[in-house]
Amino acid sequence: MMNRRDLLKSGSLAALGLLLPPIGGPEFLRRKLLAGSAGTGNKKMIFIFQRGGNDALNTVIPRGDLDYSANSRPTLFINDTQAIDLGNGFAQLHPAMQPMMEVFNHTSLNGVAGPGNLAVLHRVGYPSQSRSHFSAQHFWENGVPGDEQLDEGLLYRRFASSPGFSDMPFAGAYLNDSLPTALRGATPLPAFPGTADYSFSGNFAEVDKFLGLLPSAPGGTDGKGLYGAYGGKPDIEGGTYRDLLMPTGVKLGESVSVVQQALAQGPYTPENGAVYPTTTFGTQLSEIAMLLKRTPAQLLGVNIGGWDTHTAQGTLVGGHPNILGELALGIQALSRDLQSQWEDVVIVTVSEFGRTSDENGSRGTDHGASSAMFVAGGGVLGGVYNCDAATWAPGSMYSENSRYLAANTDFRVVFSEIFQQVFGDDPSMMEQFMPGYNAAAAANPGLFTPLGFL
């Protein structure tokens, strides 16, 4: 029987170095390939992280705040005839985000016919906002602000709570070189920059042969290929980490098999006139749509970088407008492409913090406090939240340390609303998904008032 080292060498998995934490326990080995779906029904999430800290004030413009002016932002200021009116008499959107208006539009919101399935959430953050990229990203992803040691993800905990999640051969993935904290946990989820990278060498038939067969009984010796090696008897009985490493090998083979079967269905053609950005981000979004249609995946995520705009940020053209347009075009494309399952999809964007309310001396902005989120999907009650005359008091732009826009809503209550309204989770589960949730809500009740966007 070929040992595991020789087997992996012969398989030459391009994405092997991208694989995630191992799962534990012998129960895993009882799983059958292509087991049933998890207990979240047909509901699915697309998670988009805008890494670098998005300038929320340049994204969702508080036109009704007199502090937003050419005095505070001499080269970044966008006048009211250039920006996109969102219909509430107070908030406007950066003009580069026009493609996303197709999802936002609704006669009750802005007088334009459309689905009204985009929620614009301003002033989202948490108390004592970190302005370190590493820490701030970590807190958004592990769901516990202040805890830099917890490496298990907020989204992982939510999805892992569903019956059958750990049995799924391909529950989800992150399209990137490495798995972010948000999706890390005991059950491994793969990370790969593109689906073509996530395979062993050879054509589909050769890969299938390499994967082989699981033993007829856990720990048996009659298996073949990778499944036989990792689903069979350990090389070293009782060896360190063998009970973790071996089931992870089986999980690897299963997830590769599912992705390769999806690719074997042929080139992917987006539906309903969807046009993805001609960038790495756009290609990855297209692959996410393909995976949602051709696999049982329920949680898929991707990064879009370039948001750390300290210098030459750009007003109508430049770095920040370019990536705003890329994000908007991507969300528009997803909304068109996924119409067949739009009622079951929720798209969530996050960024680790906003930027300073005043422009800096380098025609950019520095690390700030609260940011903006976008949530789209068939169940979303479109509109603008936390950026209107009723909730935005004078001086809000400088409400934290006289430099930053303070949070009006904690990001944890945003996810709580998504978990409860989209996935049907009981409110009592929020403490499990986001440890410390109840204490934080009791200490800051105003920040934990649901926005009602679902």
The whole-number pLDDT of residue 38 equals 39
Instruction: Write down the pLDDT at residue 406.
Output: 98
Neighbours of 203 (CB within 10 A): 11
Regarding predicted confidence, which is higher, 184 or 213? 184
Reported as a single tens digit per residue, the pLDDT across 83-129 is: 999 999 999 999 999 999 999 999 999 999 999 999 999 999 999 99
50 phi/psi in degrees, rounded to 5: -85, 90
Q: Give the pLDDT band of residue 248 (cuts 50, 70, 90).
A: low
Tokens representing 305 are: 């970088």
- The whole-number pLDDT of residue 345 equals 98
Rounded Cα distance between 318 and 346, Å, is 30
Digit-coded pLDDT (tens) for 10-62: 444 444 433 433 333 333 333 333 333 334 568 999 999 999 999 999 999 99
Instruction: State how far the alpha carbon of 30 is from the alpha carbons of 25, 224, 241, 244, in Å.
Output: 10, 16, 19, 14
Q: What is the pLDDT of residues 351-397, one digit of tens each?
A: 999 999 999 999 999 999 999 999 999 999 999 999 999 999 999 99
Report the alpha-carbon distance of residue 331 to residue 103 in Å, rounded. Answer: 8
SS3 70: coil
pLDDT over 70 (residue 305): yes
Residue 324 has, within 13 A of its CA and on its CB side, a CA count of 27
Higher confidence at residue 319 or residue 215?
319
The most confident of 192-201, 209-218, 430-439, by mean pLDDT: 430-439
Q: Are 57 and 374 in contact (CB under 8 A)?
A: no
Nearest Cα to 54, choosing from 368, 402, 414, 420? 368
Torsion of CA 286, 52, 17, 330, to 10 degrees: 0
pLDDT score of 197: 86
Closest residue by Cα to residue 1 from 174, 167, 201, 224: 224
The pLDDT value given to residue 24: 33
By CB neighbour count within 10 A (0-12 exposed, 13-18 middle, 19+ buried), where does 26 fall? exposed
Q: Is 33 helix (H, G, I), strand (E, B) or coil?
A: coil
Q: What is the largest CA-CA distance in the chain?
A: 75
**Candidate from 40-44, 57-61, 185-189, 251-255 with smallest mean pLDDT:** 251-255
* Eight-class DSSP state of 100: G
Residues of the chain with CATH 3.40.720: 37-168+274-448
- Give the Cα separation of 327 and 96 in Å (integer): 10
Average pLDDT over the chain reads 87
What pTM was estimated for this model as a whole?
0.87
Gyration radius of the chain's alpha carbons: 23
Domain 37-168+274-448 class, CATH top level: alpha beta
